[in-house]
Amino acid sequence: MARSAQESLPASVVSAMERGGSGMDFSEIDLQGVVAKLQIQSRDSLAQRLPGTSPYRADRTGPSGATQSQFSGNTGSSASPAQHSRPLDISSVRLDFPALHQSIHGFPLVWFDNAATTQKPRQVIEAMSSFYALDYSNIHRAAHTLAARATDHYEGARETVREFIHAQSKDDIVFVRGTTEGINFIAHTIKGFLREGDEILLSEVEHHANIVPWQMIAREVRARIRVIPIDDSGEILIEEYRRLLGPRTRLVSLSHASNTLGTVLPIEEMTQMAHHHGARVVIDAAQSIAHMPVDVQAIGCDFLVFSGHKIFAPTGIGVVYVHPQLHDVLPPWQGGGNMIRRVSFDETIYSDAPAKFEAGTPSIGDAVGLGAALQYLRQFDPISVEAHEHALLEHATRELKGIRGVTIYGHATKKIGVVSFTLDGYTTEMVGKELDRRGIAVRTGHHCAQPSLRHFGLESTVRPSFAIYNTHEEVERLIEAIVHLSRRR
Ligand code: PLP
């Protein structure tokens, strides 16, 4: 194990570094991590002094086509990193994530719980801490300088989200607390357009966040929920979907990618099919947003939702994209300050979107963190990110398949970096605990998507899930642990 910096460096050096405000917790970070962080700090400050020499600013042409649009060029602040400007060097990426440089039970942490939530890069932590230290205020409602700065930060984050998902206007971007709140918001605003006997189509792989709100609304308006089935590889049965669509279909709500089976749904085709029948389409991009290009105009959806915390941003912030044609049609879902133009005791005139959908003081600092996270990710070519995570997925799948007693669920042709499996002779909890003992964090359980597991007669799986900062060495550590358990049966 690497020794801590406190143990390894002379006391005078450690205290000089502490006095210098290096901002590092010496008890938590190993020496290698400390040195690497210092190297990055010095490289950053050198780059500031010598504009144009930063390796992060090197000109690099990204791939052409629709995929580019997700990370498309920021015209805003000069502090923003240029799109795709940074080569995908995983060891350098890892240095941005302080949490990855700690030991758990004596082992270097392996964070394979990315489908549940992602770790945060120092760029996000620093953006939020600088906002709270210097620029914090409530937004929109005052003439003073800090209110103007905070408003600029908040609205700047909205513009960053717009660019990232390639929306037409930043007015299409509504901030919410996360995917769950986003889907509840959509369900409540759209409720008034649903009638008895109308049909809402959901797929069998949906997360509970994309099932329960629709059930609640359906019960209220006497609409009917119908389920698009999957086959045993976890693939959507597109002909069944075609059969289910009809004149009663009002709404189709789909995961872009399944959090249990990893299946990437053909959402562009499915959206077109739904629109052909006049139905509105909601896309739950919670699992795709950090792992593949997401372009709302290419998808053609009416709504798209995601959570910040699954894309290296803090908890407490999420996004609902609302198609511009729906801004005026939809009613607000919550009333209060910030969302009005004029109020009297007789009537209220609402603001335009997006303010109309954002009652009360929003999660300003978390929006700043989301903006910083998207700026962070847009430095990298999304094709390289996808390819790296896919290589990890293939590696893990190939090795796990060869272990006696392991069964993998979900073999769709197009998958995100999620592997759901069971191991004979062990509960999933036992596997999770053994992995944790070795410093490897994975999720075990039903992953809040019980119907998708019940398709296979299961209540629970072990689910490692990968992100940009994971490595093949970490996959090997997972495999070693599962081989060990398999041999002990
Ligand atoms: N949808 C999918 C596909 C998810 O994977 C998740 C979380 O795991 C959610 C929705 C809910 O996200 P949140 O808990 O951030 O609201």
Q: Can you tell me which atom of ligand 1 is nearest the CA of 116?
A: 8
Write out pLDDT tens, residues 321-355: 999 999 999 999 999 999 999 999 999 999 999 99
Residue 25 reports pLDDT greater than 70: no
Tokens 């949490």 belong to residue = 99
CB 184 within 8 Å of CB 213? yes
Confirm or reject: Cβ of 207 under 6 Å from ligand 1. Answer: yes
Q: Can you tell me which atom of ligand 1 is nearest the CA of 257?
A: 3
Residue 107 class from Cβ within 10 Å (0-12 exposed, 13-18 middle, 19+ buried)?
middle
Identical topology for domains 145-378 and 382-488: no
DSSP-based three-state secondary structure for 348:
strand
How many A from CA of 225 to the centre of ligand 1? 20
Q: Using CA atoms, how far apart are residues 5 and 26, in angstroms rounded to an integer?
A: 6
Q: What band does 142 get if pLDDT is binned at 50, 70 and 90?
A: confident
What confidence score (pLDDT) does residue 198 get? 98
Confirm or reject: Cβ of 379 under 6 Å from ligand 1. Answer: no
- Separation in Å, CA 252 to CA 200, 245, 305, 393, 402: 6, 9, 14, 29, 39
What confidence score (pLDDT) does residue 149 get? 97
Q: What band does 46 get if pLDDT is binned at 50, 70 and 90?
A: very low
Average pLDDT over residues 391-417: 98
465 phi and psi angles, rounded to 5 deg? -140, 140
CB 462 within 8 Å of CB 447? no
In this structure, the strands spanning 461-463 and 443-445 are antiparallel
Residue 31 reports pLDDT greater than 90: no
Q: Which of 399, 390, 446, 439 is nearest to 420 (CA)?
A: 446
CA angle 41, 42, 45 (to 5 degrees): 85
Question: What are the tokens at 313?
Answer: 């941003």
Confirm or reject: Cβ of 287 under 6 Å from ligand 1. Answer: yes
Residue 264, Cβ neighbours under 10 Å: how many?
20
Half-sphere CA count of 201, side-chain side, radius 13 A: 29
Average pLDDT over residues 171-182: 98
CATH of the domain spanning 145-378, picked from 1.10.10.10, 3.40.1080.10, 3.40.640.10, 3.40.50.9100: 3.40.640.10
Q: Using CA atoms, how far apart are residues 482 and 29, in angstroms rounded to an integer?
A: 28
Angle between helix 122-130 and helix 364-377 axes, rounded to 10 deg: 150
Write out pLDDT tens, residues 62-79: 222 222 222 222 323 335
What integer best gives the mean pLDDT of the chain? 87
For a ligand 1 pocket test, name from 210, 258, 259 the mutation site with the most ligand atoms within 8 angstroms of its C-beta.
Answer: 259
Average pLDDT over residues 16-24: 42
How many A from CA of 287 to the centre of ligand 1? 7
Query: Whose CA is closest to atom 14 on ligand 1?
Result: 180
CATH architecture of 382-488: Alpha-Beta Complex (3.90)
Catalytic residue among 448, 468, 475, 478: 448
Average pLDDT over residues 45-73: 28
Write out pLDDT tens, residues 299-330: 999 999 999 999 999 999 999 999 999 999 99
Q: Which of 275, 255, 251 is nearest to 263 (CA)?
A: 255
Confirm or reject: Cβ of 4 under 6 Å from ligand 1. Answer: no
448 is catalytic: yes
Confirm or reject: Cβ of 184 under 6 Å from ligand 1. Answer: no
Residue 26 reports pLDDT greater than 80: no
- Separation in Å, CA 435 to CA 54, 90, 425, 454: 39, 23, 16, 25
% of the chain surpassing 90 pLDDT? 81
Q: What band does 134 get if pLDDT is binned at 50, 70 and 90?
A: very high
How many A from CA of 61 to the centre of ligand 1? 33
What confidence score (pLDDT) does residue 400 get? 98
Residues in the chain: 489
| Per-domain boundaries in the chain | 145-378, 382-488
Confirm or reject: Cβ of 179 under 6 Å from ligand 1. Answer: yes
CA angle 366, 370, 371 (to 5 degrees): 120
Query: Whose CA is closest to atom 6 on ligand 1?
Result: 286
Q: Report DSSP state, residue 202.
A: E
Q: How many helices (H) and strands (E) does the chain have?
A: 16, 17
Q: Can you tell me which atom of ligand 1 is nearest the CA of 448?
A: 8
For a ligand 1 pocket test, name from 307, 317, 370, 452 the mutation site with the most ligand atoms within 8 angstroms of its C-beta.
Answer: 307
Half-sphere CA count of 125, side-chain side, radius 13 A: 10
What confidence score (pLDDT) does residue 489 get? 85
CA-based R_g, the chain, Å: 24
Q: Using CA atoms, how far apart are residues 307 and 178, in angstroms rounded to an integer?
A: 4
Average pLDDT over residues 415-443: 98
In this structure, the strands spanning 249-255 and 199-203 are parallel
What confidence score (pLDDT) does residue 79 get? 57
